[in-house]
Structure 1
């Protein structure tokens, strides 16, 4: 990442999983992908259906997402959510499977980035759209084994970006690429 973005992304908010390398980058802010956290919490539910800690975690995250969807966000509601999360993360989980404690420790490391999306309407609560955007590149890489050169990978990424942006804006992918080539 540092070779592609030597100055970081100081005006960007990264929406990512909890991999620590993202949190070392020079960026404006972070938002942890809540879809990833929900999947992890569902796994914990399946691991031990008799506990309610992970169910309460899921309910809290889903409540925050619903607040955003409804546009019903106030600073007081954000403060209440953060307090509830702090209390939930403060509970002892030693009586449960080690996976619960491991998950909680991971959340504690990124707790300040769970609700960024509530304060900033341009920040999504998940990175699913980004992952869909990368999926085609990963498929290309798996089919051919690799990109032959960095330049080839960069060209593929540029064309893919142009095509996907055109599609998201309701325009023809072909016409967008053609317009760039004709310049």
Structure 2
């Protein structure tokens, strides 16, 4: 598969060969990198899907006009059929099993009598356990057509709340927090609809709704 004249499959193959030859990497880090390569391969596999070889609707095919109601699904990339998703899921689990043997949990035997709590784990072990315990969430993009491959958009939407917390600290009242979130939500939604913050605020002070809020789809 090529993207902008770059042979992606060849590039991934080269990285895998380098990982096999690399002797300085720890087994746990090597296993984590293999999982990341697997996720990249899953994403690339989705980019080749269309209405002829998957369950994606014809409206999501390249060079075909998409209705705005389906925009979210089209942007997310659709989903994989069960026959294609299951092999990827099994491969994902096999990689985690290999990582588990190379990065086992800490030994509980030397624990002091009466001492409770979770034993400290390495960063690689913590990542491995999270990838296993939250498998359904990590691979949700394969099964739900409107779920994107990453959660970048969600992190971006939450970023300004964290910036507010760092600069001004916590809010003095729940009402103030709700007002802040309402304003941020309005501006974020307008930006996703192609409207600048200046235009959105101008309409707000004029007592008008943006055009996309007056459509039937906005009431759906």
Same fold (TM over 0.5): yes
The match for 1:57 is: 35
Name the Cα RMSD after superposition: 2.4
Q: Matches of residues 95-106 of structure 1 in structure 2 within 5 Å?
A: 95-96=102-103, 99=122, 100-106=124-130
Unmatched segments (≥5 aa) in structure 2: 1-23, 51-79, 105-120, 209-220
SS at the partner of 2:98?
Answer: coil
**Residue 69 of structure 1, CA deviation:** 3.0
After TM superposition, the score normalised by the length of structure 1 is 0.63
1:73-124 deviations in Å (ceiling 9; x for gaps): 3322211101111212222645448634433222221123322111222111
8 Å Cα contact 1:64-1:81 kept in structure 2: yes
How many Å separate the matches in 1 of 2:178 and 2:141? Answer: 30
Distance 1:63 1:92, change over 3 A: closer
8 Å Cα contact 2:141-2:149 kept in structure 1: yes
Write 1 or 2 for the structure with the bigger share of strand: 1
8 Å Cα contact 2:31-2:99 kept in structure 1: no
The match for 2:91 is: 84
How many Å separate the matches in 1 of 2:32 and 2:173? Answer: 45
The match for 1:19 is: none
What number of residue pairs does the alignment pair up? 136
How many Å separate the matches in 2 of 1:171 and 1:116? Answer: 30
Q: Does 2:47 correspond to 1:69?
A: yes
After TM superposition, the score normalised by the length of structure 2 is 0.54
Q: Does 2:198 correspond to 1:174?
A: yes
Unmatched segments (≥5 aa) in structure 1: 1-47
**Residue 170 of structure 1, CA deviation:** 1.1
- Report 1 or 2 for greater relative contact order, CA contacts < 8 Å, sequence distance ≥ 6: 1
